[in-house]
Structure 1
């Protein structure tokens, strides 16, 4: 089925891969981003623009079938004033509502808002996160994403013709991933011994290919409208698994030192890095059965093998 899809954040890590997939599938793709678009795949009609201020009506009028809204402000982006809650609200709430209103006015059938698993919190204690889990956003970024979800839901409930789909991914991994995974990949490429030898936490990640395939399903599948989804690979991995797999792919020895997690907790607490401890040593389990059952989605079934492949591709990209 051919669709006309508008993708915001088209020059980003997920946006580039999604645009390439959509073009390869024969869709008409409009990409929007702040940069000049040198990294956008061939076949995408790209428009550099500021979603906060530029006129969106002409771009969304007519025959755009679906909007996938990836653009937003993540942790550490922008100046110090942008790291406060109001800065995140401007980028992640106000802009999303502005775009959604124009999409509804332009007759867009479906609006896919990419949120974050962080709206449910960053640590689990034996019970995996599902779509019905309590909300517990613990950072300004996650708070802004949850506020956007609430306001978008209300807005689309008042629309007779446009549908909202909310997607909450965890850490997305891939060769050119930014943020925490990119830093972990570079760390794995070093010869530095790392204190993860006794780290047996349980975390679900989502592969770039898996997330892209799910977003494509959100465009086409009739059951996606009006739904929220948590999405992740099928199996859990520990930080020890992640680093060991990346190093195996890169061709380095494991060099994982058996440091008790309680010792690392004390050290990172003294350094003011409590959230880093949560990310590296605590559980974050996710149950994606709704996404698999309702939309017939097939996530990555072997995260360890995929991470090793990424390590190999990382080496190739550095040559």
Structure 2
């Protein structure tokens, strides 16, 4: 990097963003973060809500690339949940992408999820980028819908769009299921996973950050729309993963089987 290219990172203060932003800065990118609440830093721009009418003009000024991390991820499933997922993850994403294309942004990276393929491959071969999408929850459905909209936009604009579908992302500061599992292990709680014989894909947040950086630095492709399934090289079972968490925390795992 020459240090004269600017990237807008949405969700820059979130779990993945806190790893992506330093990686981009170290590589010479000029980083601008969209934040909901001011943190008093020079690299931030206030975007209180993401939706179909969000004003991105100031945030996109002079920007060469966008890394869209912000999303509605964890939300209780009530009568408003479906609307919130659609509003933020679908309409909000497409609003940002269209504004970016109009502003002359050259690259747009969208962090989707492996959940667009469903929760399990039922013992079949690993998922591939060309598989038919079969999301089973509101989050996966919203990400799949956003992908479809981005694919259409890529046909109608000069902006290169990369869709990245990670599995569960782990590392320091992770939230969601990983945070719950880590807390249970650190507290020494017994967990009923000893007899599970699955194989799950995970990705370390550092590896995901490195892949995002690589896509920004090497966007050369004949296609304006590309999809990537990313994961750590090794797939492990849930019990193996818990054992590793316990070892890293200096704890002893307490796994038991359920008939």
Whether these two folds match at TM > 0.5 is: yes
**Aligned residue number for residue 148 of structure 1:** 146
**Aligned residue number for residue 179 of structure 1:** 176
Deviating beyond 4 angstroms after TM superposition, the runs of 4 or more aligned structure 1 residues are none
Identify the match of residue 155 of structure 2 among 150, 154, 157. Answer: 157
Identify the match of residue 11 of structure 1 among 10, 13, 31. Answer: 13
Q: Displacement, 1:81?
A: 4.3
Q: How does 1:43-122 map to 2 (within 5 A)?
A: 45-49=43-47, 50-52=49-51, 53-61=53-61, 63-76=62-75, 80-83=78-81, 85-122=82-119
Q: Structure 2 CA distance, aligned partners of 1:55 and 1:99?
A: 9
TM-score by length of 1: 0.75
Change (3 A) 1:252 1:59: closer
CA contact (8 A) 1:11 1:37 kept: no
Q: Please give the secondary structure, in 1, of the residue aligned with 2:34.
A: strand
Q: Structure 1 CA distance, aligned partners of 2:79 and 2:63?
A: 35
Q: Structure 2 CA distance, aligned partners of 1:197 and 1:236?
A: 17
CA contact (8 A) 2:16 2:205 kept: yes
Q: Structure 2 CA distance, aligned partners of 1:122 and 1:4?
A: 36
**Aligned residue number for residue 226 of structure 1:** 225
CA contact (8 A) 1:8 1:71 kept: yes
Q: Please give the secondary structure, in 2, of the residue aligned with 1:166.
A: strand
Instruction: Give the helix-richer structure, 1 or 2.
Output: 1
Q: Structure 2 CA distance, aligned partners of 1:180 and 1:111?
A: 28
**Aligned residue number for residue 272 of structure 1:** none
**Gaps in structure 1 of 5+ consecutive residues:** 264-319
Q: Please give the secondary structure, in 1, of the residue aligned with 2:131.
A: coil
Q: How does 1:122-271 map to 2 (within 5 A)?
A: 122-124=119-121, 125-159=123-157, 161-223=158-220, 225-259=224-258, 263=259
**Gaps in structure 2 of 5+ consecutive residues:** none
Q: Please give the secondary structure, in 2, of the residue aligned with 1:164.
A: strand
Q: Structure 1 CA distance, aligned partners of 2:114 and 2:39?
A: 28
Q: Please give the secondary structure, in 1, of the residue aligned with 2:50.
A: coil
Q: How does 1:301-312 map to 2 (within 5 A)?
A: none
Q: Structure 1 CA distance, aligned partners of 2:185 and 2:220?
A: 40
CA contact (8 A) 2:188 2:253 kept: no
Count of matched residue pairs: 252
Instruction: Provide the aligned C-alpha RMSD in A.
Output: 1.7
Question: What do the CA deviations read for 1:85-142 (whole angstroms, capped 9, x no partner)?
Answer: 2221101111111111110111000111111100011101231111012210000111
Q: Structure 2 CA distance, aligned partners of 1:255 and 1:115?
A: 33
Q: Displacement, 1:175?
A: 1.9
TM-score by length of 2: 0.91
Q: Please give the secondary structure, in 2, of the residue aligned with 1:13.
A: coil
